[in-house]
Chains A and B, each alone.
Chain A
Amino acid sequence: MSPASGPVPSVVIVDDHGLFRSGVRSELGDRVNVVGEAEDVEPAISLISRILPDVVLLDVHLPGGGGQLVVGAVKAEHPEVRFLALSASDAPEDVIAVIRSGARGYVTKTISGADLVDAVVRVAAGDAVFSPRLAGFVLDAFASLPEAAEAAGLGPSFDPELDQLTTREREVLRLIARGYTYKEIAREFTISSRTVETHVSSVLRKLQLSTRHQLTRWATERRLI
């Protein structure tokens, strides 16, 4: 229930389920300005490129391909557009793929309306939004990286700056995975909410920029079901 400070962000919703789109639209209410809807990859790309909203709410699964296609195509032309990924499934390879293509966050579709508004506002402000699930995936992926890197003889290409999480980042992710909000995490570590944001953004950057192909391989290998 953070106050809607600053301008109301403009939002485009991309989802192939009409019912879900209208549901989200009504849940978001007037705290964000929904300026358009699209239901597949191609229409979404042209719509977003035309409107240039602050935030795109993007379903990970679309009939014409994964949501990462939309992110990739739009980001190439308009890097200022920010994406928040949504999905009903927790298949990590999909989630990691869309995050690595440039989305600023990931939440599950079961999220409450208030939390979703909050997430949209934060993404619009340039922050990263991690659901507990995503935090778990990232912890899992990065935890197995150093060993895997050594085992694969990838020593030279291993960049600790990008391929390793700091202790504090790991702690923050753990609390997110345990269901803590940023505010609660800040209280827990007696740091400011701003610092928490910084840590999460830094994790997001590592997730997107790490060239270690283990990350992708991990994601594809780790099929939950």
Chain B
Amino acid sequence: MPAEDGKPHAGRTRWHSRDWMRGPRTDGPWRRGGDERLVGGVAAGLAGRTGLDVTVVRVGLVLATLVTFGYAAIAYVLAWLLLPVSGSDASIIHKAKSDRRGIALAAGLGTLLIVLVAVASAVGAGWLSAVEWPLVICTAGIALIWRNGTAEEQETMRRLAEPFVGLTGGGRRPRLVWRLIVAFVLFLVGTGILVSGHESIRMLAPLGGGVLVLAAIAVVLGPWWLGIARDLVAERRARIRAEERADMAARVHDSVLQTLAMIQRRADQPQQVIQLARAQERELRSWLFDGRAPGSMDTEMTLSAGVRHIQQEVEAQHGMTVEAVTVGDCELDDDLGALLEAAREATVNAAKWSGADVVSVFAEVEPGEVSMFVRDRGKGFDPDAVPADRKGLAESIHARMSRRGGEASIRSAVGQGTEVSLTMPRAVGKRQSSRS
């Protein structure tokens, strides 16, 4: 299983030859595994909790069930009922409490089984009573889970139950018949050994019989379970692929499509078209081959690239000219990221409200600080009689800057345009040349 585990990056790289038993470990409250689940996700949850490999946990659970004559299975079913699946807070039992018909069904099934076991004991199959309580409790528990689990869980159970249903239904007859015959023989011999207790093999009886019974089960149900495991892996891969595609579409939209739109708008200016195309090409390359996200103002970007980004964005979205001038350059950190965000907001604001055709954005990197100015010659406003919406924006710019130790001031007068000045002290670093 682990070799086929659909999450190739999740923990495989951490496996070394010596600690093959270890798996990725999770913190937080104990939850059942969602993605990694084979049946109920209890083993996956336990594995995540203890840091053991999930396969080791599964094998351990099966062995424990055999050794304890099924009592470990009770623990499994109870855990399935009581633990919420990862990413959720409600357990199945929580829902089942109000499911009267489900409780009635579980109680009925349990009673029926008790009666059946009693009858079986009466006709001589007394060994069944050894697994009576696990059988009863597990059946009742599974009935409750079946009725109250999520749609996904019901689907899983349905698929797990398929082989049993398939035994009565159609299918590939000849092979099925052969498998049933082999399984039947194995099962008979196994139970025979378990029950009869012939003198010479008494010591080996529990082990050998158990192995044969297991083999019988494996022969009958193995192929289905393999198929299910394969389906699970395929489904997980498909989901990952779909997510990747959605992510890609979003990024392409943010970068390439925006640029293409701008190229169309500037078709009469070959120089600018060339610049746009070249910038986009570089961005695309750095995304495809270096894994850097385009259009993101991450810390790998430099200040001048960030200013260019604002320029392109506002020009594309608001159809106005942004005169951007940058003096000096430096790597972005969180503080400068906030500065850029504030400048972007000021620029967008100018584009929306000023009514001017041009917004000037100026950024200068000095050894001790970085300052940015956003200026328009639009209608301006009276800072003492600010409309509510403008005030909110001014405050959001102010707040953004002051949180990081920077300063913002806004100068404006009716009919004389607006200028937003932003200053952010620099943490470390020297002035760099603006080559990018």
Which residues of A come within 8 Å of B, CB atoms?
61, 87-89, 109-110, 132-133, 135-136, 139-140, 143-144, 174, 177-180, 218, 221-225
A88 vs B272: C-alpha distance when bound (angstroms): 7
Instruction: Indicate with 1 or 0, residue by residue over B266-282, a CB within 8 angstroms of chain A CB atoms.
Output: 00011110110011001
Cβ–Cβ contact B271 & A222, under 8 A: no
Within 8 A of A (CB), among B127-152: none
Add 17 more A-B contacts to A109-B269, A110-B321, A136-B362 (CB < 8 A): A87-B271, A89-B271, A89-B272, A132-B323, A132-B360, A132-B362, A133-B325, A143-B327, A143-B431, A177-B327, A177-B364, A178-B375, A178-B419, A179-B375, A179-B377, A180-B375, A225-B282
B120–chain A nearest beta-carbon distance, Å: 84
A14 vs B145: C-alpha distance when bound (angstroms): 84
Cβ–Cβ contact A177 & B362, under 8 A: yes
Task: Take A143-B328, A221-B435, A222-B434 as given contacts and tell me if A179 and B323 are in contact as well, using a CB distance cutoff of 8 Å.
Answer: yes
The reply to whether the CB of B98 lies closer than 8 angstroms to some CB of chain A is no
The reply to whether the CB of B264 lies closer than 8 angstroms to some CB of chain A is no
Chain B residue at minimal CB-CB distance from A221: B435
A174 vs B371: C-alpha distance when bound (angstroms): 11
A9 vs B328: C-alpha distance when bound (angstroms): 38
Cβ–Cβ contact B327 & A133, under 8 A: no
Interface size for B (C-beta < 8 A) is 28
The reply to whether the CB of B326 lies closer than 8 angstroms to some CB of chain A is yes
Cβ–Cβ contact A225 & B278, under 8 A: yes
A97 vs B433: C-alpha distance when bound (angstroms): 19
Residues of A contacting B360 with CB < 8 Å? 132, 177-179
Cβ–Cβ contact A140 & B328, under 8 A: yes
B265–chain A nearest beta-carbon distance, Å: 13
Which residues of B come within 8 Å of A, CB atoms?
269-272, 274-275, 278-279, 282, 321, 323, 325-328, 358, 360, 362, 364, 373, 375, 377, 419, 431, 433-436
Residues of A contacting B275 with CB < 8 Å? 89, 224-225
Residues of B contacting A88 with CB < 8 Å? 269-272
Task: Take A89-B272, A133-B323, A222-B435 as given contacts and tell me if A178 and B278 are in contact as well, using a CB distance cutoff of 8 Å.
Answer: no
Cβ–Cβ contact A136 & B325, under 8 A: yes
Q: Which of A133, A174, A178, A224 has the most CB of B within 10 A?
A: A178
Residues of A contacting B272 with CB < 8 Å? 88-89
B309–chain A nearest beta-carbon distance, Å: 14
Residues of B contacting A139 with CB < 8 Å? 327, 364
A218 vs B434: C-alpha distance when bound (angstroms): 10
Cβ–Cβ contact A222 & B375, under 8 A: no
Residues of A contacting B271 with CB < 8 Å? 61, 87-89
Chain A residue at minimal CB-CB distance from B416: A184
A43 vs B362: C-alpha distance when bound (angstroms): 39
Residues of A contacting B270 with CB < 8 Å? 88
A178 vs B278: C-alpha distance when bound (angstroms): 27
Residues of B contacting A140 with CB < 8 Å? 326-328, 433-434
Chain B residue at minimal CB-CB distance from A179: B360
A87 vs B270: C-alpha distance when bound (angstroms): 11
Cβ–Cβ contact B433 & A222, under 8 A: yes
Cβ–Cβ contact A178 & B327, under 8 A: no
A132 vs B327: C-alpha distance when bound (angstroms): 11
A222 vs B364: C-alpha distance when bound (angstroms): 16
Residues of A contacting B362 with CB < 8 Å? 132, 136, 174, 177-179
Cβ–Cβ contact A132 & B433, under 8 A: no
A-B contacts, 24 listed (Cβ < 8 Å): A88-B269, A89-B271, A89-B272, A89-B275, A132-B323, A132-B325, A136-B327, A136-B362, A140-B433, A140-B434, A143-B328, A143-B431, A177-B360, A177-B362, A177-B364, A178-B360, A178-B362, A178-B419, A221-B435, A222-B434, A223-B435, A224-B436, A225-B275, A225-B278
Q: Which of A135, A180, A218 has the most CB of B within 10 A?
A: A180
A89 vs B358: C-alpha distance when bound (angstroms): 17
Residues of A contacting B434 with CB < 8 Å? 140, 222
Task: Take A61-B271, A174-B362, A222-B433 as given contacts and tell me if A135 and B328 are in contact as well, using a CB distance cutoff of 8 Å.
Answer: no
Chain B residue at minimal CB-CB distance from A144: B433
A187 vs B364: C-alpha distance when bound (angstroms): 22
A17–chain B nearest beta-carbon distance, Å: 9
Cβ–Cβ contact B326 & A136, under 8 A: yes
Q: Within the complex, which residue of A89, A144, A177 is in contact with B325, where a contact is CB–CB below 8 Å?
A: A177
Chain A residue at minimal CB-CB distance from B432: A144
Q: Within the complex, which residue of B274, B282, B325, B419 is in contact with A135, where a contact is CB–CB below 8 Å?
A: B325
